Each structure stands twice: as C-alpha cells, then as structure tokens.
Amino acid sequence: MRLAKYLARAGVASRRAAAEIVRAGRVRVDGQIERDPAREIDAQRVELDGSVIAGPEEPVVYALNKPLGVVSTARDSHGRRTVVELIERDSRRLYPVGRLDAQTTGLILLTNDGELANLLLHPRYEVSKTYRATVGGGPVKRAALVALREGIELDDGRTAPARARLLAPQVIEIELREGRKRQVRRMCEAVGHPVSALERTRFGSLELGDLAPGAYRRLTDDELAALRAQARR
C-alpha cells in the first residue's frame, strides 16, 4: 500500500492531504524522513510528527444531523462543540466530510476513510448536496428561482446551474454540485432573499430522514456502495 493511502486509511487525512503531509517532511518510515507519498508500505514503522501511526483502521462512515451552533471540525480552538464530539463510543480518528457553517444544520458525514472523503468532495465527481433554505425578502418569485437555476454571479465567479424549487412561499430547496464557502447563503442573498435558516437534507443519494438534531447512525454497506458509485461515475 502506498504511503499516502496508508495514512488516509489510518484516518490521518484525505489521501490528497496525506500526500502533502508526506511532502512536508512530517512523516518518518523506520526512523527516516520520507517525502515520497508513493512509497510502498508493508510492515514498516510509520510516524507522523513523532507519533507512531497504528495503521489502517476499519473504515466507518456516520451520518449525523448537525445541530445549530456546532462546528464542522475535528477540534475547535475557541472551545465550541464539534461534530466529532457528538459521535460517542468510537475511538477512531474521525473527521467531517466537508463543512457546514455553525448556523447551518442538517446532514453531515464523518469518517476515518480519507480516500472516500476525497472522492465525495472532489469537484470532478460533482456529488450533489441538497439544502432547505428559509428566506426573507417576501415571497419568492419565479424570477429568483430562474436566476438560481441559471447560475449566479458571485465575487468568486459565476456559480454552476442549480436545481431550485419552492417548497413554501419563503422556503427554497436548492441542489448544488459544487461546494463554495457559504454558497447557498450568498446565492439567495444575491437574488434578494437572505437566508434565515438553512438545513442540508441530502448528500448524494443519502437523505437526512428522521434523524433528530445531534443524532447519528452508521451507514450500511449498501449506502456506502451507492455513495462510492456516485463519486466514480
């Protein structure tokens, strides 16, 4: 197994991030600094920043309904509660697949499988995410929905076309296949409807369903296979 994949399977980071960690000289193999992410690893001793990496863990993916105010990181320097802390009785090194800002609720995945996380987040594979946005600015008109569907010019470029439909006079469902920072909020703001509440309801084929805020469950083998298939299509 190549070194970057070994680190990703051990829950250190995604394979891409693991490769950068290796190139930065933070990894030792049998006591020697190794900068080649493609180095084949068998039974050697691997260390990251002086700590021994125990080796690949059993891959696991959880679906979590992120509550309001919880941050989508493995740890937080300001002492805020993180999504990882909500997963109890699992000592594996988990981290979130992508991020939801603190004021956004809903479906987020946590895993120790860096390879899968990279597949799900890579722009090439366009794995969709669906959100329910409650907005201000009065009832949403057809022109705003058309603009969202055609793409919005933001300060970091034009967005890709989105699927958008009205669930209630001031509730929009938006499906995206890209993942810019605070994208749904910025898109709605641009069409005159600032977001007052935002929930992610779907990640690829996986639905939030009836998970209560703060609750989580482990994905089934069939669900994992479906996610992998979408990321590789």
Separation in Å, CA 76 to CA 62, 69, 169:
20, 12, 37
Q: Is the Cα torsion angle 217, 223, 225, 231 positive or negative in sign?
A: negative
Q: Is the Cα torsion angle 215, 102, 111, 175 positive or negative in sign?
A: positive
- The pair of structure tokens assigned to 40 is 């084949």
Paired residues of 216 in beta bridges: 64
Q: Is 101 in the active site? A: yes
- End-to-end CA separation in angstroms for the chain: 24
Beta strands in 103-146 (DSSP E): 104-111, 129-135
- CB of 41 closer than 8 Å to CB of 1: yes
Q: Among residues 90, 101, 221, 222, which one is catalytic?
A: 101
∠131-135-137 over CA atoms, to 5°? 150
- The pair of structure tokens assigned to 135 is 């907005």
Annotated catalytic residues are 101
